Structure 1
């Protein structure tokens, strides 16, 4: 898949999960991650290499995303958009993003927390998905 043209402007969760199944069969791109902490705030920076197609995890709380560098096609609450840095996006709870990096991208998510262990923070802020089924949904 060389871009997200096959997805509608507002893909369903089922369509995103099918894309994830396809991506699991493809060679993996290394997306370097950086972790940053300040009083009551955690920032997670992701370096996404050009040509990478990826999906994000769903978050429990509203939070900020900063597109610091690059150009990426991404699903937003307003549909599929081509974004060029710098951009700030507010993610609503339960949003699952899909993206395709046209250039090398730096994407930062910011969450309110006093914790400093990335695994503990992820357990708090991420909605678990099991085999494409959300908690409370029938398998």
Structure 2
């Protein structure tokens, strides 16, 4: 496992590339295994502001999650201590990181400590459902769809 700490001064370290079909298949296999286990409820905070949608989750320490296949480029902010599975490689992240994250990725994360993930992108969407359809075709896999009582939503007039 490679540690990304200290690599932020190199431009390539701030980019999460699209994943190969082999890597995507590995995350899907992990997702299938995890689906048979008890599921952790995770709060999702949604923010609509100035033509942007930001979605933040906190992964509790010791919890593993897999994400939906992201079909558009986004910014991904990671704050905490986590193992992230990128294109065929697991890497540790410690601290605060801002990534240009490509379309065509489906990450797996294991939180070593409570870790916040925020994904944001420009959109004209005004509802959670429309924003989710804009970034993935796998909306049925989203925690925010399983139980909407774990969602908080902020919409500004800007």
TM-score normalised to structure 1 length: 0.78
Partner of 2:132: 122
List runs of 5+ in structure 1 lacking aligned partners.
1-9, 131-139
Q: Of 117, 122, 125, which residue of structure 2 is paired with 1:112?
A: 122
- Greater helix fraction, Structure 1 or Structure 2: 2
Alpha-carbon offset, residue 17 of structure 1: 1.2
Moved over 3 A (4+): 127-130
Q: Conserved in 1, the CA contact under 8 Å of 2:75 and 2:121?
A: yes
The SS at the match of 2:106 is coil
- 1:39–1:92 CA distance, 2 compared to 1 (3 A): same
Q: Which has the higher contact order (CA 8 A, sep 6+)?
A: 2
Taking the TM superposition and a 5 Å limit, the aligned residue runs for 1:43-54 are 43-54=54-65
TM-score normalised to structure 2 length: 0.69
Q: Of 16, 25, 39, which residue of structure 2 is paired with 1:28?
A: 39
Query: Aligned partners of 2:139, 2:82: CA distance in 1, in Å?
Result: 25
Q: Conserved in 1, the CA contact under 8 Å of 2:132 and 2:139?
A: no
Root-mean-square deviation (CA, aligned residues, Å) is 2.0
